[in-house]
């Protein structure tokens, strides 16, 4: 991964693909360059409205009073990397990478 890597925070990243819909070569390269980041950092880069649609699809609640949130799920981890040569962030849920470019 290049030094000083930072996705452009002026343009919010949106969902592109997941590892199941990609190629093994692209995912291998993504994982080899991954750097773990916090959820807070991940949220700086993604379009939160779009992310909420993803969270709903997984059955997460919007807040803890209504159930389990993605933020409180310790099974979910967040990363930055390069996907197909482009800066990206992604989260890993149930051993599947969900990639935002």
55 part of a folded domain: yes
Half-sphere exposure of 93 (CA within 13 A, CB side): 17
Binned at pLDDT 50, 70 and 90, residue 7 comes out as: low
Whole-angstrom CA distances from 85 to 12, 13, 32, 39 are 18, 15, 13, 23
9 part of a folded domain: no
88 part of a folded domain: yes
Q: Domain range for residue 86? A: 15-100
33 part of a folded domain: yes
82 part of a folded domain: yes
The pTM of the full predicted model, rounded to 2 decimals, is: 0.85
78 part of a folded domain: yes
Question: Would the pLDDT of 5 be above 90?
Answer: no
10 part of a folded domain: no
Query: How many independent structural domains does the chain possess?
Result: 1
By the 8 A CB rule, do 14 and 96 touch? no
pLDDT per residue as tens digits for the range 70-84:
999 999 999 999 999
Of residues 83 and 48, more confidently modeled: 83
């Amino acid at each position: 991964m290049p030094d000083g890597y930072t996705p452009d925070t002026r343009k919010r990243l949106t969902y592109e693909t997941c590892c199941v819909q990609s190629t093994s070569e692209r995912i291998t390269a993504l994982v080899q360059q991954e750097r773990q980041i916090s959820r807070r950092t991940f949220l700086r880069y993604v379009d939160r409205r779009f992310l909420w649609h993803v969270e709903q699809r997984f059955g997460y609640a919007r807040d803890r009073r209504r159930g389990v949130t993605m933020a409180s799920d310790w099974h979910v981890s967040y990363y930055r990397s390069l996907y197909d040569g482009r800066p990206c962030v992604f989260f890993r849920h149930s051993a599947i990478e969900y990639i935002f470019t």
